[in-house]
Amino acid sequence: MELIHKELGDGINLYLDVTDKFKTVTVNLYVQNKLGDEATWYALIPSVLKRGTSTLKTYKDMVKYLEMLYGTTMAVSVYKKGERHFQQYRLELPQEEYVEENVFEKGIKFLYELVFEPFTQDGAFLKEYVLQEKEVQKNLIESRINDKTKYAVDRCYEEMCKGEPFAIFELGKKEDLDLIDEKNLFEYYKKCIDTLPVDIYVVGNVNPEYAEEVFRKYFNLRRKEVLEIPFTDVRKEVKEVKYVTEELDVNQGKLTLGFRTNVSPGSEEYYSLLVYSTILGGGPFSKLFMNVREKASLAYYAYSRLERFKGLMVISSGIEVENYSKALDIILKEVGEMEKGNISDYEFESAKKSLYTSLNAIKDNATSKADYYLSQKIAGTNLGIEEFIKKIEKVSKEDVVEVSKKVKLDTVYFMRNKKEA
């Protein structure tokens, strides 16, 4: 897989992955920042930008424009990887040979205006756009609780990382919204686009010279100072396991366990840890699936997953509230089995094969590819998919047992129904 890299402006990188596999060209533009006190402000920006550009002043005008480009899709989102905070702007344009010419350039110009030329009035964002988007963001923050499965995992991490930047929710805090207006948000936005690194990944059948030329026309921005976003600190010793219970109006209990691994995302140990977590809870072959679900019939789902960039692992399962102790015992027993090295060849080989399949599958999805490249970049590893697979191949059972010693339980979070008064 050849990724062509061009620097378009100061701290503005273009990456081209030329492939004729897809019927669309997918462009992902990422802006990254340190996850911190500005999170609420930073998260609000994409929503406001999506409301209007200098030439297409309303959201409706923007959508109409994209509909004329054969339903080009636009999506903006905000998320975190470790303690890096990302804004993502994505366009998916039809491949010109299936529709008509010039769609690509129109799309890229649109993307540029979306991020760099918002609709403004008197040197600020439009007041009503900011007011409305603040309200939407407030609702989105409050409605986190609607999705109990995700909420349980988020809450576990929050309790676990209290006081660390990672505990900050990707949409920030409700209270901060009161401090924001169209003027100070615009000032903050300008600071962001003047200083934050921008990475653009293009996946599709484009002529590299032509694509570069089109991008240079718009994204050739001179910037004085581009910030370097620091690596996330993954080191933290667990002194005592925290137990947190939250009572909500629910039927099912959610048992969530948070672990510290102290493994940094760019280290060789990371690959052992990935195999470790996959054996433990990464599929139907895994210890958690087999023991919590298939043998004990306690749950429909039970899995483990890594947060690579903060060096965390989470185990999550939906159970009957009264089965809390039973489920917790089984889960901890299986974690213990890993440390003892009680790993069958079947579990070990299945986990590795499943990782190869997921890694290879990335090649068939344009946005997964972009996300993969981005993750490689911020981990500082810059491995191609084949090289990544080679790293997994090299992991031995001994490596897995070795890394298991670093995995320490930090927090047990339990969401349950309300106790009868």
Partner 1 sequence: MQQVYDEKVREKILFEELENGLKVYVMPKKGYTKQFAIFATRFGSNDSKFIAPGDDYVTEVPDGVAHFLEHKMFEEEEGSIFEKFSQLGASANAYTNFTTTAYLFSSTENFYENLKLLVHFVQNPYFTDENVEKEKGIIAQEIRMYQDDPNWRVYFNALEALYHVYPVKKDIAGTIESISRIDKDILYKCYYTFYHPENMVLFAVGDIDVDKTLQVIEENVRQVKKQGEIKRIYPDEPVEVHKKEVVQNMQVSIPLFNLAFKDTDVGFGGRNLLKKSLEVQIGLEMAVGRSSELYEKLYQEGLVDSTFGFDYTGEIDYGYTIIGGQSKDPLKVRDIIIKAFKEKSFLDRETFERIKRKYIGKFLRTFNSVESIAYSFINLYMKDIDLMDYLPVLHQINFKDVAERVESHLNEETSAMSIIYPVK
Binding site for partner 1 (CB under 8 A): 19-24, 58-60, 63-64, 67-73, 92, 94-95, 98-99, 128, 132, 135-136, 139-140, 142-149, 248-252, 283-285, 293-294, 297-301, 318-320, 346, 349-350, 353-354, 356-357, 360-361, 363-366
What is the closest distance, in whole angstroms, from the C-beta atom of residue 267 to partner 1 in the complex?
Answer: 26
What is the closest distance, in whole angstroms, from the C-beta atom of residue 47 to partner 1 in the complex?
Answer: 8
Q: Which is nearer to partner 1, 231 or 301 (CB)?
A: 301
Q: Which is nearer to partner 1, 66 or 379 (CB)?
A: 66
What is the closest distance, in whole angstroms, from the C-beta atom of residue 310 to partner 1 in the complex?
Answer: 27
What is the closest distance, in whole angstroms, from the C-beta atom of residue 317 to partner 1 in the complex?
Answer: 9
What is the closest distance, in whole angstroms, from the C-beta atom of residue 48 to partner 1 in the complex?
Answer: 13
What is the closest distance, in whole angstroms, from the C-beta atom of residue 386 to partner 1 in the complex?
Answer: 11
Q: Which is nearer to partner 1, 171 or 198 (CB)?
A: 171
What is the closest distance, in whole angstroms, from the C-beta atom of residue 99 to partner 1 in the complex?
Answer: 7
Q: Which is nearer to partner 1, 7 or 147 (CB)?
A: 147
Q: Which is nearer to partner 1, 22 or 188 (CB)?
A: 22
Q: Which is nearer to partner 1, 82 or 204 (CB)?
A: 204
**3-state SS string for the chain:** CCCEEEEEECCEEEEEEECCCCCEEEEEEEEEEECCCCHHHHHHHHHHHCCCECCCCCHHHHHHHHHHCCCCEEEEEEEEECCEEEEEEEEEEECHHHCCCCHHHHHHHHHHHHHHCECEECCEECHHHHHHHHHHHHHHHHHHHHCHHHHHHHHHHHHHCCCCHHHCCCCCCHHHHCCCCHHHHHHHHHHHHHHCCEEEEEEECCCHHHHHHHHHHHHCCCCCCCCCCCCCCCCCCCCCCEEEEEEECCCCEEEEEEEECCCCCCCCHHHHHHHHHHHHHCCCCCHHHHHHHHHCCCCCCEEEEEEHHHCEEEEEEEECHHHHHHHHHHHHHHHHHHHHCCCCHHHHHHHHHHHHHHHHHHHHCHHHHHHHHHHHHHHCCCCCHHHHHHHHHHCCHHHHHHHHCCCEEEEEEEEEECCCC
Q: Which is nearer to partner 1, 90 or 260 (CB)?
A: 90
What is the closest distance, in whole angstroms, from the C-beta atom of residue 411 to partner 1 in the complex?
Answer: 22
Q: Which is nearer to partner 1, 140 or 241 (CB)?
A: 140
- What is the rounded CA–CA span in Å between residue 224 and residue 190? 13
